[in-house]
Structure 1
Amino acid sequence: MEIKAVSQEIVDMLVQRTTELSQGRNAGCLGFIDDTGFVSSSTKVIDGGLNGIPLRIMLSHITNMEGKSLIEGMSSVPDNAVLIMTRPGKTGLITDVSGVDFFNLPIISIGVKNNGLAGIGLIMPKEEYFDLATESEMLNLATLGSVTMDDEKEVLKKSNLLSLKYLELTTELGVSNKNGSDEYTSQHEHTIDIPRIKINAIDKGLARDLVDRSMEVGQGREVAMMGRIEDGRVVSQGQIVEGGIGFVPSRLLASSAVDISQKSLRKIYSELVPEDAVIVHTHPGGTGVMHIGDANAGPGTWGRAIVAIGHDAKGKIRGATVVESGDKLYQLADEDEQLGLQFFQAETPEREAEIRNRKFGIAQEYTGLCKPIQIN
């Protein structure tokens, strides 16, 4: 779907709000392309918080996010939608493909400098961009596999060349005099509802294979795969993939079970990854207890349960836990986003301390959602 221009009124509204917020905070909304190719309507403007635009709040303006993961919420985004965000201190140039990969939507970036508009950049979803996202994930891990300084230099050269390639992907977008509106027409809306499946155990052979690979790659790197659930027990479904220290990239993770080539993350996790899939990964040096990052990387974002297998330096399995999808998890996610906004509204040290303490409390409650499971 071609985009000819974006409404001047929408641009002015976002620039004004970004200027009002100051402090380097951005603002954003979902815009909608009309039949003539102009972005002429939008949702309410959302203020950026501690971690940028709060996605659950933004999605709540088009669908009820209660009890939903991000991928379930994104499935309600109309096909004629675009993501519009301001970039304080920037010109509007888009320097990576992570946004277009995650949302599978056109991204409009509005640069704001000196209290005014600096430029408007546009990037459209394209199959080759999704493959660039895969290449980026692989390069981010490649330095861990480097054996010599020369090896690492070659990886860094490729990474820098990829960054330079990103600079050519943005096109400048003009503005139109069409009046902005908060009324929009939804086109081809389709939703998904991922079932919540209870997990009680994991196959011991699968756990052993993952820990053995984790020991093989060493350096504290996690390994992972997409498993599936049979009568409450996690069994093997795909191939083991190697991650980094403390993370496994989302595209490579999905590639353990499905073909990710030329596909966005949104398409991969909403249409290709089976609904009964479960993310299984290792925790080198741990016991399997997970935290807020694991919960967000699993059910919080992709709507699938996540299992962690803890092991020691000699490969002895210490335990396994699961964080499943559930109302409590999504309530914590909603509260965390609200606190990210309230932080900037605090007018006393006492109020800021209260917000910070509650954010720590939320992180603790996420860990409390970990449920030990059997390995058999």
Structure 2
Amino acid sequence: MNIDFANLTQAYKEHEEEFQKVSLEVMSSANYILGKETDEFEHNLGKFVGNDFALGCSSGTDALLLAMMAMGLKSGDEVITTPFTFIATAETIACLGAKPVFVDIDEETYNIDVSKIEEAITKKTKAIMPVSLYGQVADMDEINAIAKKHNLAVIEDAAQSFGATYKGKRSCNVSTFGCTSFFPAKPLGCFGDGGAIFASNEEDYQKIKAMRVHGQVERYTHHYIGMGGRLDNLQAAILNVKLKTYENDISRRQAVAKKYSDKLSDNIIKPTIKADRTSVWAQYTVRVKNRDRIQKELKESGIPTAVHYPIPMHLQKCFVYLGYKTGDFPISELCAQEVMSLPMNPYLDEAEIDHITSKLNTLL
């Protein structure tokens, strides 16, 4: 049995006719950038998340950049974030000349450890950027309270958590800015690159709307330094189709995750989801010893796995200049050595889940 990790082929087949229809409509209209499909998608995004200040953009990475540009982040400023994440989180901070300041993670959720944030705040700190890793929202109430106390912005890196809930509110609607990604393998993915940013007020919304088109407020009139960060109409049209059934996709992902948790041995460290929130299960990530051996044997049984993420940010060569060293963030370093993501998509059936869990259980 050979199992597809994300099964993007089935995701296409499920809506094939509608995908073809809307794609042809966009192509025949010859209106490819910021057209009616994007307007419709932004309206649908706002309705889904419960935030009217929703804007599509070119990627999750650009969403983070736009948020920090809108808040006026500049060279020498500091942003507190986690070292256990994809490179884009810290990379975007550095791209603007600011300094990523890392705080270790909570070992159960893999999200930033809120008890360690305040000690990392300095006079140069301008924002906190928590990552809602693997599909579960970070501890936003505590983070927002710290930010309010110190007059800081909060940027949720929600690239993996779009659709998840936190105390009844959607991810991307629980902070100053919410940023997400529609990379094809995300729970809600398009057919290329795409992302969205959610502001918490009209002023920031209008600024970001201009900044994603080179700071332009009307044709050839530029009030801000911006970027080319637009979402194209073809991706918006695809996402409009997928968003209609996204709630069902989330439910199916949650059902797969529950079966994993029920069937996997207690000898393995399984994901922990806090009672006051839900996950969209961008990944189902376990922790194992002897990961290389286990991955190899699973692969030989037709079971693909992935590691999200093998090298924490503070140990990446590109961040040597920050002066961190091995041992600075022990929980992140430990998890980086042990985490392993199993196949996760809405289409995994009982037989596939049984094959994965039974094989993994024998290897522990």
Task: Give the structure-2-normalised TM-score.
Answer: 0.25
Task: Give the structure-1-normalised TM-score.
Answer: 0.25
Higher helix proportion (structure 1 or 2): 2
Higher strand proportion (structure 1 or 2): 1
Comparing both chains, which one has the higher relative contact order based on Cα–Cα distances under 8 Å and sequence gaps of 6 or more?
Answer: 2
